[in-house]
């Protein structure tokens, strides 16, 4: 026997001693509580059960006296008194909790404990969240402050068109070179009108479309019978040019201008892209997967070290628009290799379109134009 055995034995003894002293082997006390019980006689039990018998409802019920509690005090729970428990208690009148009219700064309220309770609840100081009944306002008193848009009435602008950078968008000027001279419009809104949108919401006949624009539905793959019916009964589109009320002098004046005509024409354009939800990850993944299957990477060639970006357009059927595939950019490499990378990308785009890439037609505006980067960084070491 060597020293190692002595050391091992000593350590084992130490561990066992520690376990014993630390109470590892002592069972934990059970979570049991002792409850004292007493024995009742049958008379005592009957006496106890008597109050729980069904109450006798009478019309001449006497309500308990409601203490003169403060008006803001919430209803108090009935006291645990036997005489009350047997009654159907009507809650205190709600009117007692109506806020004072008109609203005024709330003074500190003195807490008075109700007589029916032994312990009055401790109430927090009242806040401004106390329910209040809005005062009845005279319709002639002017607009109400709206925190949402304009907390305070603002001075009437010089013109109804807010002057700012947005109104000076160059696109507007460029697209409407024939914009007529400024039309003098007499503001019809009250003097104290704010800039909030709600002040104009009551107007009708705005000329705006009733619904948001939607892309056209996918061309019919279905049966030709329905197609014939559709041809015979053309459906009136929602984007039909709206007609405003002819009685609005301002609208009449503007309808004679080119700008309104251009706007109406633009709004009536069915191909106008409407904002649709973005493509989901699965939809994008499906497109990428489809093209990836035809993207032939020439591993070992210089083109395999080049990322090339390609732009192309898709029709609503998901097919590539001929001659729309164009070279956008390449990461590096000589022109010959970059050209080869572009051609490989082009073959991938054309090669796997089959009958068209499967993309949701309702999101056509999202995928009508695609800028696709082919980066073989994950293929170089394969």
362 forms part of the interface with other proteins (CB under 8 A): no
Which stretch, 16-24, 84-92, 144-152, 248-256, contacts other proteins (CB under 8 A)?
A: 248-256
Using CB under 8 A, pick the residue from 74, 135, 162, 219 that binds other proteins: 162
> Least distance to other proteins from the beta carbon of 221, Å?
22
13 forms part of the interface with other proteins (CB under 8 A): no
What residues form DSSP beta bridges with 311?
326, 371
Binding mask 114-153 for other proteins (x = CB under 8 A): ----------------------------------------
| DSSP assignment letter at 43 | H
Using CB under 8 A, pick the residue from 167, 237, 256, 280 that binds other proteins: 167
Using CB under 8 A, pick the residue from 273, 321, 329, 358 that binds other proteins: 273
> Least distance to other proteins from the beta carbon of 216, Å?
14
Task: Give the β-pairing of 308-313 and 369-374.
Answer: antiparallel
287 forms part of the interface with other proteins (CB under 8 A): yes
Query: Residues with Cβ < 8 Å from 199, sequence gap 6 or more?
Result: 143, 189, 193
- By beta-carbon proximity to other proteins, the closer residue of 74 and 270 is 270
> Least distance to other proteins from the beta carbon of 228, Å?
29
Using CB under 8 A, pick the residue from 73, 297, 318, 357 that binds other proteins: 297
- By beta-carbon proximity to other proteins, the closer residue of 167 and 256 is 167
DSSP letters spanning 138-178? -GGG-PPPBTTTBSS--PPPSSSSPPSGGGG-HHHHHH-TT
Using CB under 8 A, pick the residue from 133, 296, 326, 358 that binds other proteins: 296
- By beta-carbon proximity to other proteins, the closer residue of 33 and 382 is 382
Q: Contacts with other proteins: how many residues (CB under 8 A)?
A: 79
CB distance 359 to 279 below 8 Å = yes
Task: Determine the Cα–Cα distance for residues 116 and 80; give it in Å rounded to an integer.
Answer: 9
Using CB under 8 A, pick the residue from 69, 114, 291, 318 that binds other proteins: 291
Among 280, 301, 286, 294, residue whose Cα is nearest residue 374: 294
- By beta-carbon proximity to other proteins, the closer residue of 69 and 291 is 291
240 forms part of the interface with other proteins (CB under 8 A): no
> Least distance to other proteins from the beta carbon of 152, Å?
20
Among 349, 297, 358, 348, residue whose Cα is nearest residue 320: 349
- CB neighbourhood size of 215 (10 A): 19
237 forms part of the interface with other proteins (CB under 8 A): no
H/E stretch holding 310: strand 308-313
Among 253, 258, 259, 264, residue whose Cα is nearest residue 183: 253
- CB neighbourhood size of 37 (10 A): 5
> Least distance to other proteins from the beta carbon of 145, Å?
21
Q: Which residues between 299 and 358 bind other proteins (CB under 8 A)?
A: 299-303, 311, 322, 325, 333-334, 336-341, 343, 346-348, 350-351
206 forms part of the interface with other proteins (CB under 8 A): yes
Roughly how many angstroms between the first and final C-alpha of the chain, as a whole number?
A: 61
Task: Determine the Cα–Cα distance for residues 99 and 131; give it in Å rounded to an integer.
Answer: 6
CB distance 78 to 114 below 8 Å = no
Task: Determine the Cα–Cα distance for residues 361 and 219; give it in Å rounded to an integer.
Answer: 9
Task: Determine the Cα–Cα distance for residues 345 and 347; give it in Å rounded to an integer.
Answer: 5
- By beta-carbon proximity to other proteins, the closer residue of 69 and 254 is 254
377 forms part of the interface with other proteins (CB under 8 A): yes
> Least distance to other proteins from the beta carbon of 361, Å?
15
Q: Which residues between 253 and 272 bind other proteins (CB under 8 A)?
A: 254, 259-260, 263, 266-267, 272
193 forms part of the interface with other proteins (CB under 8 A): no
91 forms part of the interface with other proteins (CB under 8 A): no
What residues form DSSP beta bridges with 312?
370
């Amino acid at each position: 026997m060597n020293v190692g055995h002595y050391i091992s034995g000593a350590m084992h003894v130490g561990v066992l001693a520690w376990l014993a002293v630390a109470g590892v082997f002592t069972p934990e006390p059970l979570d049991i509580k002792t409850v004292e019980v007493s024995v009742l006689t049958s008379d005592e039990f009957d006496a106890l059960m008597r109050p729980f018998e069904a109450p006798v409802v009478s019309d001449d019920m006497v309500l308990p006296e409601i203490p003169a509690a403060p008006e803001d005090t919430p209803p108090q729970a009935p006291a645990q008194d036997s005489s009350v428990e047997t009654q159907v208690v009507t809650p205190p009148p709600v009117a007692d909790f109506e806020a004072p009219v008109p609203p005024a700064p709330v003074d500190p309220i003195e807490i008075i404990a109700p007589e029916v309770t032994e312990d009055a609840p401790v109430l927090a100081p009242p806040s401004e969240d106390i329910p209040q009944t809005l005062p009845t306002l005279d319709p002639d008193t002017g607009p109400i402050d709206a925190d949402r848009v304009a907390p305070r009435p603002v001075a009437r602008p010089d013109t109804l068109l807010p002057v700012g950078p947005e109104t000076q968008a160059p696109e507007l000027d460029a697209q409407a070179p024939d914009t007529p001279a400024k039309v003098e419009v007499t503001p019809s809104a009250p003097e104290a009108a704010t800039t909030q949108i709600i002040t104009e919401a009551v107007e009708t006949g705005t000329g705006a479309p009733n619904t948001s624009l939607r892309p056209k539905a996918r061309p019919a793959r279905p049966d030709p019978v329905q197609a014939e019916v559709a041809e015979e009964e053309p459906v009136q589109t929602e984007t039909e040019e709206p007609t405003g009320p002819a009685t609005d002098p301002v609208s009449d004046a503007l309808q004679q201008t080119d700008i309104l005509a251009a706007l109406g024409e633009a709004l009536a354009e069915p191909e106008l892209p409407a904002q649709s939800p973005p493509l989901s990850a699965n939809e994008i993944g499906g497109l990428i997967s489809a093209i990836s299957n035809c993207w032939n990477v020439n591993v070992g060639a210089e083109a395999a070290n080049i990322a090339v970006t390609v732009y192309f357009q898709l029709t609503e059927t998901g097919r590539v628009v001929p001659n729309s595939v164009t070279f956008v950019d390449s990461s590096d490499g000589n022109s010959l290799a970059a050209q080869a990378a572009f051609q490989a990308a082009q073959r991938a785009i054309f090669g796997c379109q089959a009958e068209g890439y499967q993309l949701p037609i309702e999101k056509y505006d999202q995928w009508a134009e695609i800028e696709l980067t082919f980066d073989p960084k994950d293929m170089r070491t394969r």
